Each structure stands twice: as C-alpha cells, then as structure tokens.
A and B are shown apart, each in its own frame.
Chain A
C-alpha cells in the first residue's frame, strides 16, 4: 500500500530536550511538507522540501529544523528553542507536476512538559 507513515503516534518529552519526528512516504513524491496543528488554529506550514537536499522555511519555522537526504524521508526536529512545542504535527507529500494535491500522514502528537 502506498502512503505516508509518521512515527510515533504519541511522543512525550521533557522541556529542554530536542526531539525528532519521523515521516516516510512510498508514493514517489518529490515534495514533502511539515505542518503544525493547534486547536482552533487550522494547520500552519513549518518547512517544505521540493527536492532532495533542498528545503524552505514556512510560516513558523523558528525552533524547528529539517533534513532531506532521501526522497522518501523528511524528518522534523523540534529543538529546545521552540517556545511552545506541544502540538499535533502532520507530514504531507505531493508531486511537483499536475495536480499538486497533498496527501497527509496520520500525525504525531507531541507533548512537552
């Protein structure tokens, strides 16, 4: 089955620790994205990558970092500099031609205490 996997589903960390969220896709998509979702706020774009070894900041990139070493993988690191990291994080992917619709993974809920 083609799709996007995110792991783990739930993640708990202590304040001051960096944490890395995994996102893998087997859809052969060039572009991948990370969004953050907070209650009543919709989704906000953190980072995106249109090709391997290249990525761009989204609207709320401060306190986050990414890498894109493989086409299939786009991990997100939430650093200790992120002031309010507790949120639901969603990864998505899309082609770069034609339809451009984004397909989403199941999400990771991060709780930092």
Chain B
C-alpha cells in the first residue's frame, strides 16, 4: 500500500521569504502526486499535480513542485510567500487500479504560518 509523509507539522515563514514544504511517498511504481491547500473549515483546493513528463510542475498561486524519483519526494515551493498563503497544505498520492481511479492517500498536512 502507498503512504505519504509530510515531516513538518508546522512551518513559520516571514512574508516575502521563500517556502519549501516537504513530501515523501512510498509506492512501488510511479504514482500520481498532488498538492492541495485548505483554509480553516473549508474544503481542499488543488494546487498542482504530477502524472508524467516534466518533473517540475507549475501550479496556481505561484506554487511549483519537483518530482524526484530517486528520493521519492515531491516538494512544494514558492519563491515569495504572501500572508494569504497561511493555510494547511496536504500532499497526496493516487494510484490507478483496474482502469479506474481509487481514492487518494494523504499526508497528515503541514500548517503554514506567515509572520509579518
């Protein structure tokens, strides 16, 4: 079975500074990888996804992520954070079984705090 680890429960970053959120996955084949963001009491919004091809993927709100097969990682980055980026971030892995999409396996999330 697949699994996802987000090693950092909380991260504090100054506004305007760069950001990197870590994600490691465990799966025997190449997985489908996602980053989602969640504001308090809300649903999840997809930031970006990786399926194949270019290992550096661009997403919404200025985020990007890099898939590194050798490290089983899919870290999320942003060059300059804004106060509105404060939220919970989830990394997720998906697999395709029997021609259909099964559910995603999520990490436990990283809570991002932005300080002025």
Contacts and interface: CB of A to CB of B under 8 A. Distances in A.
A2 interface: no
B54 to A, nearest CB: 15
Contacts of B94: 100, 102
Contacts of A109: 41
Contact of A90 (B44, B96, B101): B44
B67 interface: no
A106 B42 contact: yes
Contacts, number: 67
B103 A33 contact: yes
A106 B43 contact: yes
Q: Could you tell me the dominant secondary structure of chain A's interface residues?
A: strand
B74 interface: no
Given A100-B94, A101-B49, A48 B103 contact: yes
Given A45-B103, A50-B101, A40 B41 contact: no
Interface of B: 9, 32, 34, 36, 41-46, 49, 51, 90, 92, 94, 96, 99-109
17 contacts: A31-B100, A31-B101, A40-B9, A40-B109, A42-B106, A48-B102, A48-B103, A51-B100, A90-B43, A90-B44, A96-B101, A100-B32, A101-B46, A103-B46, A104-B36, A104-B43, A104-B45
Interface of A: 4, 31, 33, 35, 40-45, 48, 50-51, 56, 58, 88, 90, 92, 94-96, 99-107, 109
